Amino acid sequence: MAAHCQRVGDVKRVTLTREPPRNDEVRLRLEGRCFVQELPLTTTREFEVSEVDRALDGLGEDPQSIVVTSARAAMFVARAQQRFPRAIVVAVGPATLRALELQGVSDVRTSPALSATSIAAMSLEAPVLSLGALHPRPELANGLSARGLAHTHVAVYETVPRVLTTTDQELLATSDVVVIGAPSAWAVASPHVRPETVVVAQGTTTAEVVRTNHPAVVMAATPEEIERVLF
């Protein structure tokens, strides 16, 4: 991770954009060293456990690999692992790994480059089951398909973009640093972030998306790394 952790100078106003309480650890590390504000850019609707259970029951063949691209899916992964104990579990990054461990999911592998693309290139046994958002990004499915690996995605939550008020837009426009946790959050923020504002992207895929239309991007996946790049 050291290659991604170049430090950002003159940090004054930092905006954290995840839903509460997911900003808490970062906030604790930054408070007193800069002005920290929170502006959630999306809201999450978790699916009912019974909905997900029905989807898992309907799988034609037991998965041999379970891929997790978001910490929000951790609870459902624990249920899937009980159903499919022989399947290996792969997490996209440290935040997802931590959430899985808190749910009692053990022996989790992590992707080498903190991205769905790198997971798709790993040595995985098919069929592959992924658990995540209702509308996932295509990198994982495309990568597995290119390798001829059977793959099924089961949605366990839906991310809904927030409609920003004028005050919200001004808050983003006056930020020196904006921390972005997912491409869906950047879609909401991007029209209101100044080109000189530093965007801290919490993952490789998110960083790649932000770089398509913003010049100042650093990647830091964990609260420790965010603190390190800012101070």
Mean pLDDT throughout 54-66? 96
Q: Which of 32, 116, 118 is nearest to 73 (CA)?
A: 116
Domain 2-41+162-230 has CATH 3.40.50.10090: yes
pLDDT for residue 113 is more than 90 = no
Is pLDDT of 142 > 90?
Answer: yes
**Of 90, 76, 81, 38, whose CA–CA distance to 62 is shortest?**
81
Rounded mean pLDDT, 152-156: 98
Tell me: pLDDT of 218 over 70. Answer: yes
Q: What is the predicted pLDDT for the residue at 4?
A: 40
Angle, nearest 10°, between helix axes 74-83 and 49-57? 40
Higher pLDDT, 116 or 131: 131
Residue range 131-146: mean pLDDT, rounded: 95
> For all residues of the chain together, what is the average pLDDT?
93
Higher-confidence residue of 231 and 187: namely 187
Q: What's the mean pLDDT in 142-149? A: 96
Task: Please give the model's pTM, rounded to 2 decimal places.
Answer: 0.84
pLDDT in tens, 79-109: 999 999 999 999 988 889 999 999 999 999 9
- pLDDT for the residue numbered 130: 98
pLDDT value of residue 221: 87
Note whether 2-41+162-230 and 45-160 share their fold. Answer: yes
State residue 2's pLDDT score.
31
Domain ranges of the chain: 2-41+162-230, 45-160
Contact 140, 208 (CB under 8 A): no
* Residue 6 predicted with pLDDT over 60: no
**With bands split at pLDDT 50, 70 and 90, how would you rate the model's confidence at 9?**
low
Quick one: average pLDDT of 141-149?
96
Q: Tell me the three state secondary structure of residue 123.
A: coil
**What's the Rg (C-alpha) of the chain?**
18
Which two structure tokens, joined as six digits, stand for 157? 């939550």
Segment 150-162 shows an average pLDDT of 97
* CATH architecture, domain defined by 45-160: 3-Layer(aba) Sandwich (3.40)
Answer yes or no: is pLDDT of 193 > 70: yes
